[in-house]
Structures are given as structure tokens and as C-alpha cells.
A and B are shown apart, each in its own frame.
Chain A
Amino acid sequence: MSAPRKLPRWADLGLLPLVSLAAALLVSCGVIALLGESPVQAMRLLVSGAFGSPEAVGYTLYYATNFIFTGLAVAVAYHAGLFNIGCEGQAYIGGLGTGLVCLGLGHLSFWLVLPAAVLAGAAFGGAWALIPAWLQARRGSHIVITTIMFNFIAAALMTYLLVNVLINPGQQSPETREFAAHAWMPAAGDLPGRLGAAFATSPLNLSFVLALAAAAALWVYVWRTRWGYELRVVGQNPAAAVYAGISPGRITVVAMVVSGALAGCLGLNELMGSQHRILIDFPSGAGFVGIAVALMGRNHPVGIVLAAVLFGALYQGGSQLTFDLPRINRDMVVVIQGLVILSCGALENLFRAPLARLFGRVDSK
């Protein structure tokens, strides 16, 4: 009997998630076969739907952009020991900030609108997270509960604003007028030459680059600055943090505001990049997917970007699947996504021990 061995680092970070993913897809294949469709064809459609053409890649990365923002938001709160379930609401309110800037300043130059829109999105999203953070820090109200409730308050507020105040007059749909063209995020289709032409029909836009920049900035913040060190100390041991002269209350507030600000950037992609107006329920669950993305990405920016691309691929490939195979409906796509989350997140340790044993055998030879 040998004690459970540790996996080599590359296997822990690279191989284990792949094995989990493969297992999830294998189970999905079984369900698809039960539905009477060919699993092989379905998997081929899923992959080619997500990566088969520049347009497909464009859509995949477009969805991934949303998930990078919300995944980073969940991760930064997690490092401070906080579970932010309110990304959906923070993204919604952040989008309001971005949208108001685009509506108000859209006639100016894009290079003026962009920083204002980023700041407004981050400020609105951060402000929305500030209230639960303050309640946690000062009154001890549990952040999980308050952030969930703030999702509903955000939805109620936005519905009120879109139905009664911001609605474009003379129409049924609760959405604002279209932003002026200067407030549109440059799309991948605007790139010169063949690259632009290839992406012309996808909603991929500059926000993807901003999301990657945010991931890089977050890495520097959490692992290379004193503030990030304080954040992690509080997350790992609040008592030790107090002993070291760090105020957990202050860190709670800072972490949540940064988290809300990141989630608030979702509007850059969804509103400025694609819809070009504020519309009802535009985050469509991306805030919750962010939790899964952060979990799968082990709360590390690189992992989050990869997990976000995976979920983007599932979204895009999945919609292609329902489009081409009539017997597979959108609920089946949710089942596939759920299986991936279950296998990569909750059942992570299922394959750890067998893999470790395998490596142990190879080593001992």
C-alpha cells in the first residue's frame, strides 16, 4: 500500500482537466445516442460548430470574452475568501454605465468614448458590489446571500429603467435606441485584409483583447503586488492577516469592488461590441457561468481564459448542434454543459487517484 501520490504539475494542470472533459463528453455521447442521434456526428458538429470556420471561432471567442470577465471577477473575490455570486447583477448594472456613456457621448470620437465606457462600466459594476461588500465587512451579512439578492434588485431596477425611462419611444421591446456609430466597439470584421473579411460575420470585437489585458492585469495584481498579497493572506487566513496588520474588512471591500468592476466590463462586449443598445437581460447567465469558469480555471487567469474558451465553444458549438440536429434541443446543450461542470469541477478527484496510480507505476519501472 502506497500513500496517494501527488501528480506531476503538468498532469495536474493539463492532463487531469482533459481527462475529465473527455469523460463528460463520453457521457454526453451516451445521452445523444439515447436520443437517437449519432454521437460521432454530434461531436463532430460540436467541434466544427465551435472552431470549424473563422466565423465559428469568432462566435466562440465572443462568448468567451463574457466568461473571461465574469470568471476573473469570481476569481479575484475567491482569492480574498469571498464567494461572489452577484456577477450577473454587477454585469447588468455595469452594462447600464457603459450604455449610458455610449448613449450620451456616442457622437464624440471613439477614443474618447472607449475609456469613458470602460470606466463607467467598472464604476457601476464596482458600486453594485460595494454595497454587499460593505454589509459583509461592517455588519457581517453573508456575502453569498446578499450578492444573490442583489442580482434580483439589479434585474428589477433595469426592468424599471428600460420599461419606463430609457425605452426607445414607440416600440414594444424594452430596449434603448441604438448607440451612435462612434460608440461601437471595433469589430474583428473591421480588420484590414483577409483576416477582417473572414471574421466579418461574427460579433468578435476589441473587447476580447481588453478581456485578455484584464486577465494579465489581474495576474500582476494578485501575485505581484503588495495589495494582491494582502488579498491572498486574508483569503487564506483572516486571523493571520489581522496579526500582520491587514484589515480584513478593507480587503473585503476592495476585493469585491474589483470583482464587481471586472463583471461590469461585460457590457463592453455585449452592448458596445454586439447589440449596440441596452436591452433587457443582456448578461443571459454569463455571471453564473463565470463561477464555473473560475472553478475550472483554478482561479488562475490562464486557466480562466482557457476555461472561458471551452465554455464559449460549448455555447457556440451547442447552438450549432441544435441548429443541425432537430432531435437535440437547447436543453440537451445545457445537459452537456452541466456534465462538463460536474466532471471538471465537482468530480475533479474522481480521476486523480487512478491517474496518480498510473504515474506511480510508470515511475517505479
Chain B
Amino acid sequence: MMKFPRLLLVLAAAAAAAALHAAPAREFSPAIVYDFGGKFDRSFNQSAAEGAAKFTKDTGIAVREFEITNAAQREQAMVQMARRGATIIVAIGFTQASAVERVAKQFPDVKFALVDGVVDLPNVQSINFREQESSFLCGMAAAMASKTGKVGFIGGMDIPLIRKFALGYTEGAHYVNPAAEVFQNMTGTTPAAWGDPTKGAELARSQFGRGADVIFHAAGATGLGVMLAAKETGHLSIGCDSNQNYLHPGSVLTSAVKRVDVAVYKAFAAAKAGTWRAGQTVLGLADEGVGFSLDEFNRALITPEMEARLMQARADIISGKLKVSEYRAQ
């Protein structure tokens, strides 16, 4: 069919015009697109927002931000940012992959960074995390802290990324206690599952009722309900993505930290310094991209023996002695 090449031509012309228009006197202008969860989910997106805020604080350069409410807005927001002269656009979340791919092709002069996804283009940096490694350590911590030998996992939506967390967690728990029972629940089937603390609390109560005494959540804002339920019923919870130990001191065993903030900050800083590179970046325990948090809020919950075992496992995973499987979508 004839019309498609023509469409591409028009797009290319528009992109070229935009690039020419924006090219002279381009100042460094960073931008970031958050996903459905929104900037203040106290978890994944918020971690990214903190990285952006730190960059603004350190350099005085404002970061243009956008929170999407429907699928079409991803592409729209990125196109607008690119047109208004954004130097680098960071997209948060795996759902943005296809939008990044399309817009990056339209604006070859703009740098893109995608967190939690892979786009193979010369102007895209794909930043991924080995969540299974931190989940593994949290599984170990859970099994060591558990008195009943039963631990729980509550995910947001049943998607490959969350299965990755669940698998690492289960392996970690079984590494410590091969007989450990791991309960798994997913909160829902729509993106609302990331923002439903009430349901998170209900699921947590039901798992506690079945005998679990530690629950790990990978459910965004839904996890806040999980953690509250754990506090109210006198059990333990494990936070996710951001360090959530401070939320309920004494009841949050630890948090599986994913340093999205560092990744965002580094992407901006590298782009500013001119050292930014496209390609794949995978951050694991070795790069301190993921880890478990230990601070004054959970110091009393992690005994020296637990800490020693966790540190040993951490070293073994980094050295490759201990293998953690990664969930792969078929």
C-alpha cells in the first residue's frame, strides 16, 4: 500500500522540522514520564521522582514531568517533551517500551532512557534491575524471621515483572528453610491493583490467618495496606522498591530496595556531562542497584546471625556461587 511510506515520510519531515527548530541554542533540559501509579505511590514511581528531585536540587535544572492517565498519553507526552527541546527523556515502567520505541525513532537526536524495559535503538538506554536478587535476600530474611515456617507474598498485577519478584522470594525462603510454605496472592487484574491498600490489607489478613507471619509485597501503593495490616496484627512485613522501613518502625522487617532514583539521577547526570551511553544497563546487587535495607528502623529486627547470613548470600550471589533463577516470560 502506498499510504504508509507517505506517512513515514511525513513523520520524518515533521521530526526533522522539529529537530531543526529545536537545534539552535538547545539548553540541557531533562524530562521524565511516570506510569499509571503516579508520582506519589511511595514506591516505584516515587523513587524515580526522588531521583529527579535530587538532580534538580544538585544542579538547579528543572525537570519536566508528566503522569499519564491513559495509554495514548505516553507517546503524546514524549513527543511534546522532545518538541520542546528535551535533551533526555526518562520513561518509568515497562509499559512505556513501545511508546519509547516509536518516539525515539521520530527524534533520533533526543536521548531516551527506559526503566524496566528494553528498546534496542541507538538513542535509547535500557535500564533494568535484577529484582530477583533482592527478592531472594528478602525471602531469606522472611524465612529466618518466621516462627511458623510460613511466609507470604502479595503482588499487584499478575505480570512477568511481579512473577520475577515472587520467584526470587520463594527461592530465598526455601534456601533458608526447604520446608517453608510460601503463600502467594495477586491483588487484581487491572492497574487499580497498584493502588488498592484496602484490598492489600484484606489479603494480608487472610495470609496471616493461614499462619504466615511475614509478608513481602510487590504491589505499589496497595502494599501500604499490607504493611499496615502487619503492624495492626503484630506481624512483620517487607517493603518494596523504596526503603519503606520508616513507615512502621518495628514491624517492617526490611525492604527490597530498587534504586530507580539512582538510575534516574545517573541518566540525567551522564547526559548533562556528555558521558551518556545508549544500550543496556542491568543493575543488580553488585552495582548496588538493588538490595535490602538496614537502618535504625529495622535494626532491632535483624539479628547479627541473620545479617551475617544475608551478607554471605549477597556475596555469593555477586560472586556467582549462588544462582538465583530469573522468571522469563515464555
Which residues in A have some Cβ–Cβ distance to B below 8 Å?
59, 62-63, 110, 152, 155-156, 158-160, 163-164, 167, 169-175, 178, 181-182, 184, 186-187, 189-190, 196-197, 200-201, 203, 270, 274-275, 277, 279-282, 284-285, 315, 319, 322-323, 326, 329-330, 333-334
Q: A105 to B135, alpha carbons, bound, how many Å?
A: 42
Q: Show 24 A/B contacts (Cβ-Cβ < 8 Å), sorted by A.
A: A59-B72, A59-B76, A155-B190, A160-B158, A169-B329, A171-B117, A171-B329, A172-B117, A173-B97, A173-B117, A175-B98, A181-B1, A181-B4, A184-B4, A190-B4, A196-B10, A200-B11, A279-B71, A279-B98, A282-B71, A285-B70, A323-B80, A329-B67, A330-B69
Task: Kindly list 10 other residue pairs between chains A and B, CB separation below 8 angstroms, not including A167-B330, A200-B14, A270-B71.
Answer: A155-B190, A160-B189, A172-B117, A182-B1, A189-B11, A275-B71, A279-B98, A280-B95, A319-B73, A319-B76
B191 interface contact, C-beta 8 A: yes
B118 interface contact, C-beta 8 A: yes
8 tightest A-B CB contacts, nearest first: A284-B70, A172-B94, A155-B189, A159-B189, A190-B3, A156-B189, A200-B10, A173-B94
Q: A333 to B70, alpha carbons, bound, how many Å?
A: 13
Task: Provide the B67-102 mask, 1 if CB < 8 A to any CB of A, else 0.
Answer: 111111100110110000000000000110110000
Task: Report A-chain residues with C-beta under 8 Å of the C-beta of B95.
Answer: 173, 279-280
Task: Report A-chain residues with C-beta under 8 Å of the C-beta of B158.
Answer: 159-160, 163
Interface pair B7/A190, CB less than 8 Å apart: yes
Q: A164 to B4, alpha carbons, bound, how many Å?
A: 32
Task: Provide the B1-43 mask, 1 if CB < 8 A to any CB of A, else 0.
Answer: 1011011001101100000000000000000000000110000
Task: Report A-chain residues with C-beta under 8 Å of the C-beta of B116.
Answer: 172
Interface pair A200/B80, CB less than 8 Å apart: no
Q: What number of residue pairs across chains A and B have CB atoms under 8 A from each other?
A: 121
Q: A184 to B4, alpha carbons, bound, how many Å?
A: 9
Cβ of B190 to closest chain A Cβ, rounded Å? 5
Q: A264 to B14, alpha carbons, bound, how many Å?
A: 34
Look across to chain A and name the residue whose beta carbon is closest to the beta carbon of B160: A172
Q: A274 to B4, alpha carbons, bound, how many Å?
A: 14
B157 interface contact, C-beta 8 A: yes
Interface pair A281/B191, CB less than 8 Å apart: yes
Interface pair B118/A333, CB less than 8 Å apart: no
Interface pair A172/B7, CB less than 8 Å apart: no
Look across to chain A and name the residue whose beta carbon is closest to the beta carbon of B162: A163
Tell whether A201 pairs with B14 under 8 Å between CB atoms, given A110-B1, A171-B118, A172-B94.
yes
Tell whether A163 pairs with B71 under 8 Å between CB atoms, given A170-B329, A171-B329, A281-B191.
no
The contact of A152 among B7, B72, B161, B189, by CB within 8 Å, is: B189
8 Å CB contacts to A: which residues of B301-326? Answer: none
Look across to chain B and name the residue whose beta carbon is closest to the beta carbon of A316: B76
Task: Report A-chain residues with C-beta under 8 Å of the C-beta of B77.
Answer: 319, 323
Cβ of A273 to closest chain B Cβ, rounded Å? 10
B65 interface contact, C-beta 8 A: yes
Interface pair B69/A189, CB less than 8 Å apart: no
B282 interface contact, C-beta 8 A: no
Cβ of A163 to closest chain B Cβ, rounded Å? 6
Cβ of A155 to closest chain B Cβ, rounded Å? 4
Q: A189 to B8, alpha carbons, bound, how many Å?
A: 10
Q: A317 to B134, alpha carbons, bound, how many Å?
A: 42
The contact of A322 among B67, B79, B157, B329, by CB within 8 Å, is: B67
Look across to chain A and name the residue whose beta carbon is closest to the beta carbon of B97: A173
Interface pair A190/B189, CB less than 8 Å apart: no
The contact of B190 among A164, A275, A281, by CB within 8 Å, is: A281
Tell whether A172 pairs with B14 under 8 Å between CB atoms, given A182-B1, A277-B98, A322-B66.
no
**Centre residue among A169, A200, A333 by max chain B CB count within 10 A:** A200
8 Å CB contacts to A: which residues of B185-200? Answer: 188-191
Cβ of A276 to closest chain B Cβ, rounded Å? 9
Q: A167 to B330, alpha carbons, bound, how many Å?
A: 8
Interface pair B6/A190, CB less than 8 Å apart: yes
Interface pair B159/A174, CB less than 8 Å apart: yes
Cβ of A60 to closest chain B Cβ, rounded Å? 12
